[in-house]
Amino acid sequence: MRPISRRNFLFTSAAAAAATLSGGFAAEAEPVIDIHQHTDYSGRTDEQMLAHQTTMGVTHTVLLPAGRFYQLEAGASGNDRVQEVARLHPKEYFFFANEVPYLSDAREVIVAGLKAGAHGIGEQKFMVDADSRAVAMVAEIAAEFGVPVLLHFQFGRYNTSFERFHTILEKFPKVNFIGHAQTWWANIDAKADQAVLYPKGPVTPGGITDRLLSDYPNMFGDMSAGSGLNAMLRDEDHARGFFARHQDKLMYGSDCSDSVGAGAKCSGSQMLATIRRLAPDKAAERKILFENAKRVLKLPV
């Protein structure tokens, strides 16, 4: 019998305790898939992450690794770590594969993660243009394996030249792409100033993000982080219409690093409450919290 490491023992014990307190991994609760979470985020332990997800009421979590050299910038850890956690709880935790796309062995590393059971590629959060050869290479792998790609768009830093990303969508129509982060969410506004990452005030409909979701069947949105929450709270009338228009394209994610899982410090729990409050009906809410992610990520839940 393989010896149990101290990390695995503590993690399994925390899982058992959390499950006892919540009656299991929300076995009787309405299912919620969180498509955007990280291990070792801001020093958070495995036990704290598990408790965080349980407190929010999340039933299934997707762990996103960083590529090598970028652990701190991507707020995550590597492929081995996410696989380790997912192996401990295969019914509740899933994982993506990732690597810096311009490294010579990037394809080899990503393919190895996919062969190990990854349900997607990402979070791609690297200093390349959104229509670069590096992004196209990742899309080629995704096409080969039939998995989505999750990208972090941030003006002047990650996946830049967002206005040209539509060319990738057109070149790879059978690959599903999931948009995330500041520039993705700022551009729900047709008058977005690209240098302003967390804009405030009323939204003018028809921004790049809104058009990509409307015009391309292979474009989806990740609701996570402060950028997603800000986009919905800055203009709640617009948010209601946005949820109604794109209810088949949006997926809940948390991407929060706190160890609480509730209250003002947890953007994930705030986003859950926002979706439930502003979604047009229960059917749309269920799509955003569960059904869309299950379908697009092909999760066995």
CA dist 214 and 217 (Å) reads: 8
Around 133, how many Cα atoms within 13 Å sit in the side-chain half-sphere? Answer: 4
pLDDT at 69: 62
267 or 12, which is more confident: 267
Around 52, how many Cα atoms within 13 Å sit in the side-chain half-sphere? Answer: 26
- Structural contact between residues 234 and 278, judged by C-beta atoms closer than 8 angstroms: no
- Residue burial 35-65, b: 16+ Cβ < 10 Å; e: rest: bbbbbbbeebebbbbbbbbbbbbbbbbbbbb
End-to-end Cα, the chain, rounded Å: 29
The percent of residues in the chain predicted with pLDDT above 70, rounded, is 87
pLDDT at 264: 87
- Long-range CB pairs of 70-77 (<8 Å, 24+ gap) are 70/100, 70/125, 70/126, 71/40, 73/125, 74/38, 74/123, 74/125, 75/38, 75/41, 75/42, 75/255, 75/257, 76/38, 76/39, 76/40, 76/41, 76/123, 77/38, 77/39, 77/40
pLDDT at 300: 96
245 φ, ψ (degrees, to nearest 5): -65, -40
pLDDT at 28: 53
1 or 41, which is more confident: 41
pLDDT at 27: 41
**pLDDT tier for residue 43 given thresholds of 50, 70 and 90:** confident
Positive/negative CA dihedral, 175, 249, 99, 102: positive
Query: What is the topology classification, in CATH, of domain 30-296?
Result: TIM Barrel (3.20.20)
Whether pLDDT at 257 is above 90: no
- Long-range CB pairs of 261-266 (<8 Å, 24+ gap) are 261/51, 261/52, 261/53, 261/54, 261/55, 261/56, 262/55, 262/56, 266/52, 266/56
**Residue keyed to tokens 């919905």:** 232
Domain spans of the chain? 30-296
Whether pLDDT at 220 is above 70: yes
> What length is written for the chain?
301
Which whole number is the average pLDDT over 143-157? 98
The percent of residues in the chain predicted with pLDDT above 90, rounded, is 81
Q: What is the pLDDT of residues 87-115, one digit of tens each?
A: 999 999 999 999 999 999 999 999 999 99
Whether pLDDT at 74 is above 60: no
pLDDT at 177: 99
**Residue 251: C-alpha distances to residues 47, 140, 147 (Å):** 25, 23, 15
Q: What is the pLDDT of residues 4-33, one digit of tens each?
A: 444 444 444 444 444 433 333 444 579 999
Q: By mean pLDDT, which of 14-28, 89-103, 166-180, 286-300 is the weakest?
A: 14-28
CA dist 259 and 89 (Å) reads: 19
**pLDDT tier for residue 70 given thresholds of 50, 70 and 90:** low
Helix (H) or strand (E) holding 221: strand 219-222
Whether pLDDT at 233 is above 50: yes
Helix then strand then coil, in percent of the chain rounded to 5, is 45, 10, 45
pLDDT at 77: 56
Whether pLDDT at 186 is above 50: yes
**pLDDT tier for residue 40 given thresholds of 50, 70 and 90:** confident
CA dist 196 and 189 (Å) reads: 12
